[in-house]
Structure 1
Amino acid sequence: MPRVGASLAGIAASVDACGPTRLVVIDGRSGAGKTTLARELAAARPTFAVLSLDQLYPGWDGLRRGADAAISGVLAPLAQGRPGRWQGWDWESDGPADWHDIATGTPLILEGAGLLTPAAAALAPVRIWVEAEDTLRRERALRRDGATYEPHWDRWAAQERDHLRANDPRSLATHIVRV
């Protein structure tokens, strides 16, 4: 679990200063601590809702599609003063789930691997890259998701590497948190 301490205080200050577009993007590779950081930030700023891309990735090969859906369906509309909308994914049945609406003006922390792209950076004033050593990330992710995730680790990691090469998310971040 990340202990971000002073980083959290700096991030929270940035959130307070981001004006009417209260959107935060958190990216990082699997097991880096994105979800924990999102929870800690939401606890520090309770008016913010949290949306995890784990709820909308369309399966184990859907990193890019899930991130793109979050950007076009949630980030872009909210940044433009319109309501957001996203479709969930039912991991057990491996198919689409219910649609969800996000009201205009909702302060939002959106977290997930593959999310910090140039398009997302243009929409979210606070952008966080979370990183940790590969061994630690794998240990955390497998402890969290166990046997469900283990057979998919390599193919998910390949999608993350594609994202890193294509978008260089670390360079787009306003904050970098090393766990």
Structure 2
Amino acid sequence: MPLSADDPVATALRDAATAALAQASAALSSPAAPVVLLDGRSGAGKTTLAALIAADWPGPVRVVALDDIYPGWDGLAQGAETAREEILAPHRAGRTARWRRWDWSAQRHGESDAVGPGTGLIVEGSGVLTPASAALADVRIWLESPAGSRRERALRRDGDTYRPHWERWAAQEDTHLALDHPRHWATLVAEVP
């Protein structure tokens, strides 16, 4: 999403990035590289915020998008669990995290990916912030945004590819909110218009 100086969404995301970097700076002196989790409903601005944080990160950092891990349109919970088991837990333990990306065209697992323990980690995606994953992250962000704004941004971004799946995905987000209470686990809540 292009960010202009007079755009209230851009301002909210820039402010959230500044606050997230301030929180992450406290963890930069620890032996393990800091981990940031970014959660919010579809279209809230997670991908843009992750890019803003990564752009000013003081050292090596990797952004992992759950969009590359979810196993299809019904895979929100499984994608979040895969991120916890295969990325967050090994990274926190000081090991290289290894996982397989999801090939959306072939509807199956595709190429392998990895990130080393000395690299800062930003994991963004709906469902990523759970009670179990919260313990594995230094900064935990929940993005709050009105449904109409989110839908407009998401469909402008993904268009007809996403349109038939919007309600199906939103139902999985509803389940995540009811079961995991991600806002409760956040160290930072950002309101995005």
> Which amino acid in 1 is paired with 2:31?
P
Alignment of 1:1-179 (within 5 A): 1=1, 2-3=9-10, 4-18=13-27, 19-21=30-32, 22-45=34-57, 47-179=60-192
CA distance in 2, matches of 1:61, 1:6: 33
- Provide the aligned length of Structure 1 versus Structure 2: 179
TM superposition outliers: structure 1 runs of 4+ over 4 Å: none
Unaligned runs of 5+ in 1: none
Q: How far did residue 170 of structure 1 move?
A: 0.3
Secondary structure of 2:19's match?
A: helix
Q: Is the 8 A contact 2:16 2:49 kept in 1?
A: no
CA distance in 1, matches of 2:41, 2:76: 11
TM-score, with normalisation over the residues of structure 2? 0.89
CA distance in 2, matches of 1:65, 1:164: 15
> Which amino acid in 2 is paired with 1:147?
D
Residues 124-177 of structure 1 deviation map (CA, whole Å, 9 limit, x = unaligned): 010000111000000011111100001011110000000000000001000011
Secondary structure of 2:153's match?
A: helix
Unaligned runs of 5+ in 2: 2-8
Question: Which segment drifts farther, 60-69 or 19-28?
Answer: 19-28
What RMSD over aligned residues (CA atoms) do the two structures have, in Å? 1.1
Secondary structure of 2:162's match?
A: helix
TM-score, with normalisation over the residues of structure 1? 0.96
Q: How far did residue 47 of structure 1 move?
A: 2.3
